[in-house]
Structure 1
């Protein structure tokens, strides 16, 4: 591990983390999902969170995103204590500064693809015309602008995931949380989604927390964090 102090001192060689988890513990009934897990993500960095099924990697993502509160420990975002925020404050972060991509996209079936991408902006109060203009720009970057008027049920899985990626980026988030974004795709479509996702995230400057069990997907990241038995071990990219 390099550049992440744990004793409260600063390291001038690297920027401070944008998002940090410190000594997280989380149990679901008798099952311990996280046991003292720690993780740090810098601005603009893509970090792959890997581990076997049931290791706690998705729970780690949900705690980092403020979706699930840990039983103990801290999550800090941009110097603020996320675990000390109200539900309303965490919801505001998820609407504006956080973006999400899930395994099955979770697009709204009744809306067109363009309306799905524009939805976060509309929920934030933006006028429809401006929201859809920005949505169209992101759809073009993800190479799905020709699907604007189609509904999610009319597009392929790979196309739907590109629409979901566009939706995650449209608000200009500082962090994107992606949970197995290619898990429901074949290898060819998965590779194309990751190529476009990585390029778009880098262009926007967003940090990415990417949960995956696939080494070929993790290879797109800058660094890997291995979660095993509820604990996290950082691994710097070599080469």
Structure 2
């Protein structure tokens, strides 16, 4: 395909009487890392959720590979999120009853990949994220920084085209945050995955190729100087 991989155009979204997005627009190219910054309540997480097909805008267009995400059925959007998108959230959201290996393999199992193959690929990603030794442990037995690396492995195991990361270092200290960002962005560049990164931290946004600021539900690109 030519042109942007993912596009949002003139998005509006309100929750009751409160507007969250008021004409937000954004485009993301294949392999590009874009950070979305803004104060609390500015609409940055709502924009990410609209891009990922989790929330539908009240008006405006979201397109992935020229396909209208808003017009898709719930089943089509769910399939898109399982096969083409990966997700990393602030608190990891690992399944507490599963081991780390099972957590990473879970997206593949949902796509009906055989257990042996799913676990082989999960082990490969645990190794790349430097947490191989955690394979048999459960989320309650590991640290927050380790859990986020497991969550990044889970996001990447399906070879997604886009990774959505919503405050992925927000619950970590600066050392663990830097490590998670280095591993996340390095793995994304190796696999040519685009990353849409919501953060309020300048040091995290510095890992991106481009910064977009959301304020009062509108977007503005910031020029990146060399």
TM score, norm. by length of structure 2: 0.99
Q: 2:148 is matched with which residue?
A: 161
- What is the match of residue 192 of structure 1? 179
Task: Give the match for residue 224 of structure 2.
Answer: 237
**Please, which of 222, 229, 238 is the counterpart of residue 209 of structure 2?**
222
What is the aligned partner in structure 1 of residue 28 from structure 2? 41
1:30 shift after superposition = 0.8
Unaligned runs of 5+ in 1: 1-14
In the alignment, is residue 137 of structure 1 matched against residue 124 of structure 2?
Answer: yes
Aligned CA-pair RMSD? 0.6
Deviation at 1:236, TM superposition (A): 3.1
Per-residue CA deviation, residues 178-198 of structure 1 (Å, 9 max, x unaligned), is 000000000010001101111
1:125 pairs, out of 102, 112, 118, with: 112
Q: Distance in 2 between matches of 1:121 and 1:205?
A: 20
Paired with 2:32 and 2:167, the residues of 1 have a C-alpha distance of: 18
Gaps of 5+ in 2: none
Residue by residue, what CA displacement relative to the aligned partner does 1:90-129 show, whole Å, maximum 9, x if unpaired? 0000000000000000000000000000000001001100
Query: Are residues 1:202 and 2:189 paired?
Result: yes
103, 107, 110: which one aligns with 2:94: 107
Separation of aligned partners in 2, 1:144 and 1:238: 35
Q: Distance in 1 between matches of 2:99 and 2:191?
A: 24
Q: Choose which of 52, 64, 87 in structure 1 pairs with 2:39.
A: 52
SS at match of 1:168: helix
Shift of 1:237: 1.8
